[in-house]
């Protein structure tokens, strides 16, 4: 009986030790995303699944964490609490250069990996308003976003592009974009801005009511993208909004991008593995969300404002993308 007890204890110890020995050979990284109902969370999930299929090849496993979004993810990445995070390109720029929440504290360890889907500055107007360009907003009732929102800053930049002053040239309404669809249909406003990935439920609502509406083209955006490097030209696929009165298939605009960021302290081979799996499985990645239909490998290297991580650079050079 004594020998049997010793044998059983030995087997139990072996069982307990096996996973520890195995995990010692495996590295783990976490990707910070956003709310579980948003686009960031399934994006992180898709990236982790791609990497985990090759866990034995890279000695690497990835997990996903639902977070508060861009600011949280950037702070967690530079503090070492996350290895990767998804963040808007304007937030990436502001953190690296010590602006906004990071004023006076530039996050110089922040590194870009690649950009993902565009979040377009979208201008929706009623047909009756006669608004067919940014300049046509003059004298109109325009919802430009609620105070303190990133939305408001994007709208102001669009007005700057057209040479318009929000105090003098338009009748500005400072309300949330999600509340503006009903206001447009109730004819309380003539147009509203919304920074968002497409397709979007609020815009579908705005285009499906009694009042006929369209998405206004925002063209000649180079002065804006030159001034603010976190902006990039973008297109809105009109197939997502069949009830809008637009005739064109793509409506030009500008936008920020959702981007994958990391820290300079994350090993090169880890970042290389993440980058390689996404780009080598590009067709499958594009199927993840309708917002990804406009993605190309080339434009996933655009709209980034922190330095590229060396691990990402290694892959891009191998793939002929850089």
Does residue 207 contact residue 181 with C-beta atoms inside 8 Å? no
> Around Cβ 195, how many Cβ atoms within 10 Å?
23
The answer to whether 157 and 228 have CB atoms below 8 angstroms apart is yes
CB 113 within 8 A of CB 312: yes
What is the DSSP track for 239-304? Answer: GG-TTS---SSEEEEEEEEEEEEEETTS-HHHHHHHHHHHHHTHHHHHTT-GGGGG--TTGGGSS-
Per-residue pLDDT of the chain (322 residues; tens, 9 = 90+): 544 444 444 444 444 443 333 344 799 999 999 877 667 888 999 999 999 999 999 999 999 999 888 889 999 999 999 999 999 888 899 999 999 889 999 999 999 999 998 789 999 999 999 999 999 999 999 999 888 566 788 899 999 999 999 999 999 999 888 789 999 999 999 999 998 888 888 899 999 999 999 999 999 999 998 988 788 888 999 999 999 999 999 999 999 988 999 999 999 999 999 999 999 999 999 988 887 887 899 989 987 889 999 999 999 999 999 9
Domains for the chain: give ranges and CATH numbers: 24-118+257-318 (3.40.190.10), 119-255 (3.40.190.10)
Q: At what angle do helices 268-280 and 310-318 cross, to 10 degrees?
A: 40
Give yes or no for a contact between 250 and 236, defined as CB atoms under 8 angstroms apart. Answer: yes
Q: Which residues of 294-307 are buried (b: 16+ CB within 10 A; e: fewer)?
A: bbeeebbbebbbbe
């Amino acid at each position: 009986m004594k020998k049997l007890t010793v044998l059983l204890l030995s087997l139990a110890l072996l069982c307990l030790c096996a996973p520890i020995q195995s995990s010692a050979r495996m590295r783990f990284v976490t990707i910070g995303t956003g709310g579980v109902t948003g686009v960031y969370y399934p994006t992180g999930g898709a990236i982790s699944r791609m990497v985990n299929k090759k866990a034995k090849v890279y000695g690497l496993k990835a997990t996903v964490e639902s977070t508060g979004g861009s600011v949280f993810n950037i702070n967690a990445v530079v503090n070492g609490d996350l290895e990767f995070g998804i963040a808007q390109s304007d937030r990436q720029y502001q953190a690296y250069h010590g602006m906004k929440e990071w004023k006076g504290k530039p996050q110089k360890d922040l590194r870009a990996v690649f950009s993902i889907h565009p979040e377009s500055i979208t201008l929706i107007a009623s047909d009756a308003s006669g608004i067919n360009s940014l300049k046509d907003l003059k004298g109109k009732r325009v919802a430009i976003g609620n105070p303190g929102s990133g939305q408001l800053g994007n709208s102001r930049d669009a007005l700057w592009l057209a040479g318009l002053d929000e105090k003098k040239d338009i009748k500005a309404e400072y309300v949330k974009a999600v509340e503006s669809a009903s206001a447009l249909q109730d004819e309380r406003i003539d147009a509203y801005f919304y920074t968002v990935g497409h397709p979007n439920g609020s815009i579908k609502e705005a285009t499906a009511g009694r009042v006929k509406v369209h998405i206004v083209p925002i063209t000649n955006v180079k002065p804006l993208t030159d001034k603010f490097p976190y902006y990039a030209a973008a297109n809105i696929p009109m197939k997502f909004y069949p009830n809008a009165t637009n005739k064109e298939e793509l409506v030009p605009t500008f936008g920020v991008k959702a981007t994958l960021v990391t820290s300079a302290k994350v090993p090169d081979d880890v970042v290389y593995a993440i980058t390689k799996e996404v780009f080598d499985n590009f067709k499958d990645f594009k199927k993840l969300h309708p917002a990804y239909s406009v993605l190309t490998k080339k434009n996933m290297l655009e709209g980034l404002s922190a330095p590229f991580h060396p691990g990402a650079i290694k892959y891009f050079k191998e793939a002929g993308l850089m």
